[in-house]
Every structure is written in structure tokens, then in C-alpha cells.
Structure 1
Amino acid sequence: MSDWMRRVLVGVAGLLGAIGVATAAMTSHGEDVRNLAAISAMALAHAPVLLVLGLMGRGRALSIVGLVLTAGCLIFVGDLAMRHWVGTSLFPGAAPIGGGGMILGWLGVAIAGMFRGLLNE
């Protein structure tokens, strides 16, 4: 995994961690907090895996997995944030595209873990 990829993954992990904690705190101060709760859950669920991939990930397969997870999570969280604060989606189909990206990323983690050779490419 390249150095710039590691920096991106660790940086996004930190950003998602901060977003997750902030939106969790916001849920206690509002009425319609469904999107904020979902943002918090997705951000806090994906920040640790991106941190681990950034710090310990090896190989091309895990670089791709990290990018897919990052893109999926940022699109999904961005769409929920737009819906909450602006009242419109990020773009048509953003939530299912982001969610699909996260699912594909997690499947990539599973495949890379089952086929050890992928971890060292």
C-alpha cells in the first residue's frame, strides 16, 4: 500500500471518528435525529476499519478495499447530512450507491482475509 493511500485512510478515519462523535452528541439535542443517528453509526463503524487498513494494511487488494469503503461511507454519510441540514439528497441515488460501496468494501475485506495471497499483492 502506498504512503499516500495510508495517509488518506488514516485521515478519513480521523474525520469519520470526529463526525461520528459530533453527530452522536447532536442526537441528544434535537427532535428529528434519525439521520444524525445513522450518520454517527456509519461513521463510527467505518472509522476503525479505515484506521486499521491505513496503519496495517498491505497490498493492492486492501488499498482498493480501503478506497471503496472510504468512498461508500463518505457518499452515504454525505447524503444523510445533506438530507438533514439542506433537505435534499447529495445526488439522486447517493444513499444506495454509498451503501453498496460499503457492502462491496466489506466483502472485499472478507475475500482478502480468506485468500491470504491477496493480502500480500
Structure 2
Amino acid sequence: MSPATGLLIALAGLSGALGVGLSAAAAHITGGNLTTAAQFLLFHAPGLLALAALIAAGAVHPALAQTAGYVLILGLVLFCGDLSRRAFAGVALFPRAAPMGGILLMLGWVLVAVSALLRLRS
């Protein structure tokens, strides 16, 4: 993998992490919980498919990228699950589920970035 490709993947991971943080802030400001949950699921689906393709192509560190994918999925379950339950039932999934999920989503994207940078070193 070329350094330019690795940098592009790393910046995509950083972009994903920042996008999660800003979207979460917007959901708190505007109260669009269900819209935010739906968008997160729709936006992360192609990201997870792309991550799988990057692993198969050898463009990222495979073990770390796979861990990043699982962290992203767990983050989606907690974040989107909590926002959806609040929208439909008026109660939280459990205390602090959405913030925990959001932190996991940001961590997952940072791990994607690190997996690209580690691949560059090897």
C-alpha cells in the first residue's frame, strides 16, 4: 500500500470519528433521536463494507481493523438502540447507553485510522 493510500484511510477514520461526535451533539441540540439513529445506521453500513474490503485487500492491519469493525458494531447497537428506544418507548436502553455507544463509534473510527498507519509501517 502506498503512503498516500494509508494516509487517505487514516483521514477517513478521523472523519468518521468527528462525524459521530458532531452528529451526537446535533441530536442533543435538535432532539432528532430517530433521524440520527437511522442516519448512523445508513452511514456506517457502507463504511463497514468498505472496512471488510480494505482488510481483504491488505490495505489495513487485519487484526486491528477487524477489532475496529466490531467496536463500530457495538457502538451502533448501543447508540442507535438507545436513541430508537427513547423515540419509540420514551425510556433509555440503560443509563448512559447512547454516550457509551458514541464513544465506541469514535474509538472504532480512530482504530480504523491506526490500522492504516500500522499497515504503512509494516
Say yes or no: TM over 0.5: yes
Aligned AA (2:35):
A
Using the alignment, how far apart are the partners of 1:66 and 1:110 within structure 2? 12
Q: Within 2, Cα distance between the matches of 1:55 and 1:109? A: 13
Return the alpha-carbon distance in structure 2 between the equivalents of residues 45 and 115 of structure 1.
25
How far apart are 1:57 and its partner, in Å?
1.8
Q: Does 1:83 align with 2:81?
A: no
Instruction: State the alpha-carbon separation in 2 of the partners of residues 73 and 116 from structure 1.
Output: 26
The AA in structure 2 aligned to 1:105 is G
The alignment partner of 1:101 has SS state of: helix
- Runs of 5+ in structure 1 lacking a partner? 1-32
TM-score by length of 1: 0.65
After the TM superposition, which parts of structure 1 deviate over 3 Å for at least 4 consecutive aligned residues? none
Per-residue CA shift, 1:49-71, capped at 9, x if unaligned?
A: 11122344252111100000000
Counterparts of 2:63 and 2:102, CA distance in 1: 22
CA distance in 2, matches of 1:83, 1:57: 35
Give the secondary structure class of the aligned counterpart of 1:36: helix
Q: How large is the Cα RMSD of the aligned pairs? A: 2.2
Q: Which runs of 5+ in 2 are unaligned?
A: 1-30, 57-61
Inter-partner Cα distance in structure 1 for 2:101 and 2:42 = 16
Q: Distance in 2 between the 1:37 and 1:93 partners? A: 19
Identity of aligned residues (%): 38
Q: What's the counterpart of residue 41 of structure 2?
A: 43
Higher relative contact order (CA 8 A, sep 6+): 2
Q: How many residues align?
A: 88
TM-score normalised according to structure 2 size: 0.65
